[in-house]
Structure 1
Amino acid sequence: MPTEASRLGAIREKVEAGRRLTVEDGLALEASADLFAIGEMANLVRERKNGNLAFYNVNTHINPTNVCVYTCDFCAFRADLDDPRGYVMDRSQIVERARQASERGATELHIVGGLHHKLPFSYYVDVVRWIREAAPEIHVKAYTAVEIEFFSKIARKPVEQIMRELIDAGLGSLPGGGAEIFHPEVREKICGAKASTERWLDVHRTAHRLGLHSNATMLYGHIDGPIHRIDHLVRLRELQDETGGFQTFIPLAFHPENSEMDDIPKPSGVMDLKTMAISRLMLDNFPHIKAYWVMLGLKTAQVALSFGADDIDGTVVHEKIYHEAGAETPQEITTAEIRRLIQEAGRVPIERDTLYREITRDGRSWQAGRKIDPSRLLQIVPA
């Protein structure tokens, strides 16, 4: 029977040769206690794809409403229609948030929220339009696949038509939320009422066909196990083989506070880093892996830059969903602090826009350049 060392050795040979890992390889990585060996392999892939660079952006979050028809067990953000905590942002609030973001030099507005069954689809279209009118220079990354599928239901229109209307209003790309865990053993227990795995994947397939890029996520560290996480990654990898439309994968650490699952402890630092590394190793066709500092914490996100991650997200500002669930990270951080964290980790900080084009700044104005050619990245690594 092969030892753990021999199994990792065989996997390392595949990684060094650039060969795809199997489900069995992924499960062997999950079973291994050798965090540093796994991290070293992930770092090899990370540097092969992105050299010594670490990306960040200047972004702001808008959550237009927290009223939600779904009652996912892990969610601490949602509110019922008659809940005093419930809110809906109006045009003036959305426009003011967009103007503030523009004044701060943001290149992206990240928009996700509750699924409010009393609001018409036109409201969600208007949110995008209001932002584009107030700050036309800012990229609008808006609405998860779960939200898009919900809009299709309330508007009684096909997903493709929903997306075309949002694109006409100014939608630039899709975030990766709502994926949670694809495996039915878990999904049916924690969020069975919302968009199925097949619907989530099909929304992103449609977005990619229409020319939109998107992100993907995985919520880990609750009732999921190794097979559920590896299954999730493989399903994403298969869709990326088909469309090539995913830009970034973001492993999201479960935060239990104020949710129906608050008896479950949040993931450990070891699990955070191991999940990051395994994600980088399994998702060989994803350009980027993000260490979302809001959920991981600044210190773990910083270390993750040596465990497969090449992106640390951005300034964020006004994030509510994970702070409602007990995230103790700041509401925002400055670009100077982001750059310092990246440099302390031995990486070269590069400000990017949503589409991973390098940003150059002159005072408050900014310009998006070309995407960095991956073939040049290893030449940038300091000796």
Structure 2
Amino acid sequence: MTQRLTPEAARALYESQDVFALGRMAHARRLELHPEPVVTYIVDRNINYTNVCVSGCRFCAFFRAPGDPQGYVLSHGELEAKVRETVELGGYQILLQGGMHPDLGLDFYTDMLAFLKARFPQVAIHGFSPTEIWYLGQAAGLGHAEVLRRLVAAGLDSIPGGGAEILTERMRALVSPRKCTAAQWLEVMREAHAQGLRTTATMMFGQGETLDERIEHLDRLRALQDRTGGFTAFIPWTFQPANTRLAAPEASAVDYLKTLALARLYLDNVASVQASWVTQGPMVGQLALLWGANDFGSTMIEENVVAAAGVHFRLPEAELRRLVEAAGFAPRRRTMDYTLLE
């Protein structure tokens, strides 16, 4: 068994190894976990049911404050049209996320889930970040555990890892002070796992955090995974500064690849690591498959949040498969829990 990295060893490794050496180590670890020459992906669509949010995160170019004329809430008819198009394009999952909308009660969310499940029972709903769930629990006076139970009863299948950013209190106070704390984010995930939900975990880096804070983020995820085993995958991506209120230089491809590789080495209990072609572009995304990633993410029939920051990479399924094959792997469709579909 590979010896578990400590935070101190992880820091030393990142600082002492160049991008290629760290990549070779991460790829070797990936092959230990997934020796077959396969790269997985999912066909789904990101649907943002609203862009209204009271959080006002400094890194977000997508949200609109309550009362803004550009704010919206999708109707059931608009949601149905988006999901129907997704199914027609071969999709079998939607990623459903919005903001912390002060005027939407819990009934809005359960009604939305029930409506979609009634019309598209074959489509998995991967929805609502821990920040949304914590906010709903507080607003409804029910707490996050009861909110989770009601969402699952209405049709929620799994939870994405959004809203994590960097799981340190200093960074959250700096860039998203109105969101739940790092400890509260982790508590929602712990409870979700306890209720039998599988979830992903994420990290958005390049916001001005230190290397130690990135490692602390990884360490907190690894500790929770030791307790619950509920994370199916880890998805790191870089902050996109355009059109935001956060002055931070965009992280380089080298920084992305080194951080990706370090995550693969550190998260020894998370089976899969996903490449982020959405923020890095398809070529760096392809390189990520040799830097520790074994998953190429989603075809993303629709994506709005990163696009609001001026990044508009798109990959039709045929092109996604071609890129995976050109990197030397066989592309395979999967579900959220990494069950292979082909």
Question: TM-score, with normalisation over the residues of structure 2?
Answer: 0.97
Aligned length, in residue pairs: 341
Residue 57 of structure 2 corresponds to 72
1:185 to partner: Cα distance: 2.0
**What's 1:91 paired with?**
76
1:63 matched to 2:45: no
2:274 to 283, 290, 294: 290
Question: CA–CA distance in 2 between the matches of 1:29 and 1:127?
Answer: 47
The residue that corresponds to 1:344 in the other structure is: 326
In 1, distance between residues paired with 2:56 and 2:14?
30
Report if the CA contact (8 A) 1:94-1:130 is conserved: no
2:117 equivalent in structure 1? 132
The within-5 A match list for 1:182-331 is 182-261=167-246, 263-330=247-314
CA contact (8 A) 2:59 2:245 kept: yes
CA distance in 1: counterparts of 2:304 and 2:210, whole angstroms? 27
Give the counterpart letter for 2:309 in structure 1: A
| 1:56 counterpart SS class | strand
- Paired with 2:66 and 2:325, the residues of 1 have a C-alpha distance of 46
Contact 2:56–2:65 (Cα < 8 Å) also in 1: no
- Whether the aligned pair in 2 keeps the contact of 1:220 and 1:251 (CA below 8 Å) is yes
Name the TM-score, length of structure 1 as normaliser: 0.87
Tell me, what secondary structure is at the counterpart of 1:109?
strand
Q: Which amino acid in the other structure matches residue 44 of structure 1?
A: A
Deviation at 1:33, TM superposition (A): 4.7
Alpha-carbon distance in 1 for matches of 2:204, 2:332? 27
Deviation at 1:95, TM superposition (A): 1.3
Instruction: State the Cα deviation string for residues 193-225 of structure 1 (Å, max 9, x = none).
Output: 111111100101001011100001111012111
The correspondence of residues 32-51 of structure 1 with structure 2, limited to 5 A, is 32-51=16-35
Asked if the contact 1:218/1:252 (under 8 Å) is kept, the reply is: yes
| CA RMSD of superposed structures (Å) | 1.1
Q: Which amino acid aligns with 1:318?
A: E
How much does 1:32 deviate?
2.7
Matches of 2:52 and 2:143, distance apart in 1: 24
* Pairing 1:161-172 to 2, within 5 Å after superposition: 161-172=146-157
Residue-by-residue CA offset, 1:50-76 (whole Å, 9 max, x unaligned): 222111111011100000011111011
Q: CA deviation at 1:322?
A: 0.6
How far did 1:355 drift? 1.4
Q: CA contact under 8 A between 2:42 and 2:298: conserved in structure 1?
A: yes
For residues 179 and 305 of structure 1, what CA distance do their matches in structure 2 show? 23
Distance 1:192 1:49 in 2: 38
Unaligned stretches of 5+ residues in structure 1: 1-16, 361-383
1:99–1:134 contact (8 Å) kept in structure 2:
no
Q: How does 1:354-373 map to 2 (within 5 A)?
A: 354-360=336-342
1:26 aligned residue: 10
Gaps of 5+ in 2: none
Instruction: Say yes or no: does 1:150 pair with 2:135.
Output: yes
- Residue identity opposite 1:101 in structure 2: T
Q: Deviations over 1:323-375 (max 9, x none)?
A: 10121312xx2221111100111112111011111113xxxxxxxxxxxxxxx
1:81 and 2:66 are equivalent in the alignment: yes
Alpha-carbon distance in structure 2 between the residues aligned to 1:318 and 1:335: 13
Q: Distance in 1 between matches of 2:172 and 2:135?
A: 17
SS in structure 2 of the partner of residue 321 of structure 1? coil
Whether the aligned pair in 1 keeps the contact of 2:14 and 2:22 (CA below 8 Å) is no
Aligned to 1:370: none
CA distance in 2, matches of 1:39, 1:193: 37
* Cα distance in 1 for residues equivalent to 2:320 and 2:288: 14
Q: Work out whether residues 26 and 262 of structure 2, in 8 Å CA contact, stay in contact via their aligned partners in 1.
A: yes
SS in 1 for 2:257: helix
Residue 96 (structure 2) aligns with = 111
Write out per-residue CA displacement over residues 265-289 of structure 1, whole angstroms, 9 at most, x where no aligned residue: 2110101101110000000000100
Give, in whole Å, the separation in 1 of the partners of 2:111 and 2:54: 20
Matched to 2:262, the amino acid is I
